[in-house]
């Protein structure tokens, strides 16, 4: 056995060829994050916010341009089979960067103050301690959030583009670690935020361990961690299913954790509630896109040959996710928790698209992710604006009569809720239609029936909020902060994309269906 392994080793050292043009977008984002860290270290405090926001947005725009130009012209598997830049990878990266740019706009909101409004001025200090008071007096800032966001974005970009389970694991960590910190940095209700951060970290560590253990089992089975080699082994090798099937399931469980699918959803409501609202929006959108991208690649490229072993289990997960998300969102009284359960339900709907296992499955999943991402970032940006006695007014009763107090904000939020429901002329309708159509074509009629029932249940939840905003009397001291240009831009972009994808969905649908071919 040892002799055969020695024979397989290459006799001469071969330098890895990296197509820098193909990975340029990721390098740009990593580089931007590095410069952000240097700004954090050397720039004077009063310039940091402007410098960081400008740098972050420029980096993201540059990355988007690089994806559309240099990376698109240099598709292929590169970096010694570690990174694959193909149609799906490119479009997922583009979506992640675009969503991140919109999310950063919401994070940069500072109203009339000197520093970002959503973030604490001293994340390391004990809440309410003299050290925290001193930091506030000295005008400390939390501009680290911008480089951290860029690091997370870089990890998210690598996640769906990794052609190797180990690279995928590294990407998973690179995208998760900054998010753990970001979710603990809320300025208000800091204990809740820190609790969210800790819970997210612990459960994230569990899911990483699941993923890694699964990858180890698959290595034992296939003798390689590269997705294409695993696919070949699955096709040609018989026996050793005792390693393969648990390996597949553990890897998938690790990914489903990140997606927030039931029964691995328990962290979602707590983390979404505790994290600063703009971060929640960014996290909900970006992580979902990245994790579904990785899930699609793993299932479609590596494990397609054993689909009959994992399909029934994922069917169960999809049904459970939709039902748990829909039913539990009915009982929620907190706006952010409600949106968290809604995100679980949406993860279930997206899984229905993933399980179609055809080209339509890829394109409809992608369309749904874009639609969900933009509406969710805008919704959380609005949640950050609604205040009651200095805090975010997250209890549903505090939203009563918002339509009378500030008709524009309530109107936009109502529109986003209709999009969450999936009413025609919003992107939500097209997205749901696309995934359900793909699922029917892929033989998942039962999934679609459950999906439509769950859609009906969630519709009740969203319509109830609209009724609450428009048909009940205002109570308490709820008020809406006047957004500056940053939030306004973020909410408008999110809403306009939602409207645009509802009325003219074909450009994105065409783009998505042209880029469904995974390179193996």
Position among 34, 205, 266, 496 found at the interface with other proteins (CB under 8 A): 34
Give the angle subtended at the CA of 239 by the CAs of 236 and 240, to the nearest 5°. 110
The yes or no reply on residue 242 touching other proteins (CB under 8 A) is: yes
Number of residues that bind other proteins (CB under 8 A): 12
**Phi, psi at 110, each rounded to 5°:** -135, 10
Q: Which is nearer to other proteins, 38 or 453 (CB)?
A: 38
Question: Least separation, in Å, of the C-beta of 26 and other proteins?
Answer: 14
Minimum separation from the CB atom of position 115 to other proteins (A): 16
Instruction: Pick the closer one to other proteins by CB: 41 or 137.
Output: 41
131 or 333: CB nearest other proteins = 131
Q: SS3 of 164, please?
A: strand
Stretch of 224-232, 234-242, 309-317, 333-341 lying at the interface with other proteins (CB under 8 A)? 234-242
Nearest distance in Å: CB 240, other proteins:
6
Query: Among 159-167, 192-200, 236-244, 366-374, which window interacts with other proteins (CB under 8 A)?
Result: 236-244
The interface with other proteins within residues 36-65 (CB under 8 A) comprises 37-38, 40-42
Residue of 217, 292, 299, 226 whose CA lies nearest to 250: 217
The one among 10, 130, 239, 390 contacting other proteins by CB under 8 A: 239
| DSSP string covering 191-206 | HHHHHHHHHHHHHHHH
Q: Which CB atom, from 55 or from 344, has the smaller least distance to other proteins? A: 55
Distance of closest approach, residue 187 Cβ to other proteins, in angstroms? 20
Residue 154 to residue 201: CA distance in whole angstroms: 19
139: left (phi over 0), alpha (psi -120 to 50) or beta: left
Binding piece for other proteins, criterion CB under 8 A, among 34-42, 148-156, 343-351, 432-440: 34-42
- For residue 249, what are its two tokens? 């399931």
Looking at the DSSP assignment, which residues form a beta bridge with residue 85? 76
Angle, nearest 10°, between helix axes 407-421 and 445-471?
Answer: 160
Are residues 497 and 427 in contact, defined by beta-carbon separation less than 8 angstroms?
Answer: yes
Q: For residue 481, what are its two tokens? A: 């902060």
Which contacts of 3-7 are long-range, i.e. CB under 8 A and separated by 24 or more positions? none
130 contributes a contact to other proteins by CB under 8 A: no
- Asked if 457 interacts with other proteins (CB under 8 A), we say no
What is the per-residue binding string for other proteins in 183-222, x denoting contact by CB under 8 A? ----------------------------------------
**Of positions 58, 138, 240, 504, contacts other proteins by CB under 8 A:** 240
Those residues whose C-beta lies under 8 Å from the C-beta of residue 86, and which sit 6 or more positions away, are 75, 76, 515, 517, 518, 519
Residue 346 tokens read as 């949406």
Query: CB–CB of 392/502 below 8 Å?
Result: no
Q: What is the Cα–Cα distance from 440 to 432, expressed in whole angstroms?
A: 12
Residues 6+ apart with CB under 8 A from 8: none
Shortest distance in whole angstroms from residue 282 CB to other proteins:
22
Contact 351, 318 (CB under 8 A): yes
- Nearest distance from residue 239's CB to other proteins, in Å? 6
The CB-of-184 to other proteins minimum distance in angstroms stands at 16
Q: Is 13 or 308 the residue whose CB approaches other proteins more closely?
A: 13
Among 4, 10, 15, 73, binds other proteins (CB under 8 A): 15
Indicate the residue among 34 and 191 with the shorter CB distance to other proteins.
34
**Beta partners for residue 480, in sequence order:** 386
Closer to other proteins at the Cβ: 3 or 41? 41
Q: Are 298 and 251 in contact (CB under 8 A)?
A: yes
Give the footprint of other proteins on this chain (CB under 8 A). 1, 13, 15, 34, 37-38, 40-42, 239-240, 242
């Amino acid at each position: 056995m040892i002799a055969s392994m020695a024979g397989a080793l290459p006799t001469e050292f071969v330098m890895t060829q990296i197509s820098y043009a193909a990975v340029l977008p990721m390098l740009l984002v990593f580089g931007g994050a590095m410069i952000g860290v240097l700004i954090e270290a050397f720039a004077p405090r009063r310039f940091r916010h402007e410098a960081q926001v400008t740098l972050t947005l420029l980096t993201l725009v540059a990355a988007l341009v690089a994806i559309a130009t240099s990376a698109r012209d240099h598709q292929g598997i590169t970096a010694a089979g570690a990174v694959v830049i193909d149609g799906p990878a490119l479009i997922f990266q583009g979506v992640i960067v675009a969503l991140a740019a919109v999310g950063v706009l919401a994070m940069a909101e500072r109203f009339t103050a000197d520093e970002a409004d959503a973030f604490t001025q001293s994340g390391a200090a004990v809440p309410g301690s003299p050290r925290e008071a001193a930091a506030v007096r000295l005008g400390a800032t939390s501009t680290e959030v911008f480089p951290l966001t860029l690091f997370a974005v870089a990890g998210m970009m690598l996640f769906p583009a990794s052609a190797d389970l180990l690279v995928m694991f590294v990407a998973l960590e690179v995208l998760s670690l900054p998010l753990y910190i970001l979710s603990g940095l809320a300025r208000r209700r800091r204990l809740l935020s820190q609790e969210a951060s800790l819970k997210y970290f612990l459960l994230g560590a569990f899911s990483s361990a699941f993923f890694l253990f699964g990858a180890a089992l698959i290595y034992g089975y296939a003798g390689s961690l590269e997705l294409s080699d695993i696919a070949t082994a699955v096709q040609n090798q018989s026996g050793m299913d005792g390693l393969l099937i648990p390996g597949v399931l553990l890897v998938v469980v690790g990914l489903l954790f990140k997606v927030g699918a039931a029964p691995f959803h328990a962290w979602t409501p707590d983390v979404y509630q505790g994290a600063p609202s703009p971060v929640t929006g960014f996290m909900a959108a970006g992580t979902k896109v990245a994790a579904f991208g990785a899930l699609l690649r793993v299932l479609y490229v590596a494990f397609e040959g054993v689909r009959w072993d994992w399909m029934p289990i994922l069917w169960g997960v999809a049904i459970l996710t939709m039902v748990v998300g829909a039913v539990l969102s009915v009982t929620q009284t907190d706006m952010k928790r409600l949106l968290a359960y809604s995100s679980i339900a949406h993860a279930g709907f997206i899984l229905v698209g993933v399980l179609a296992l055809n080209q339509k499955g890829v394109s409809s999943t992608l369309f749904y992710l874009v639609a969900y991402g933009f509406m969710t970032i805008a919704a959380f940006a609005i949640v950050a604006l609604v205040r009651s006695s200095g805090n975010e007014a997250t209890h549903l009763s505090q939203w009563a009569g918002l339509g009378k107090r500030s008709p524009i904000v309530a109107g936009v939020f109502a529109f986003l809720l209709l999009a969450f429901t999936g009413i025609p002329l919003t992107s939500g309708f097209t997205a749901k239609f696309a995934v359900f159509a793909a699922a029917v074509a892929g033989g998942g009629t039962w999934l679609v029936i459950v999906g439509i029932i769950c859609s009906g249940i969630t519709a009740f939840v969203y319509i109830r909020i609209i009724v609450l905003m428009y048909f009940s009397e205002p109570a308490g001291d709820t008020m809406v902060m006047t957004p500056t240009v940053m939030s306004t831009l973020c909410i408008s972009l999110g809403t306009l994309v939602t409207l645009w994808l509802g009325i003219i969905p074909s450009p994105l649908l065409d783009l998505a269906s042209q880029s469904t071919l995974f390179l193996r």
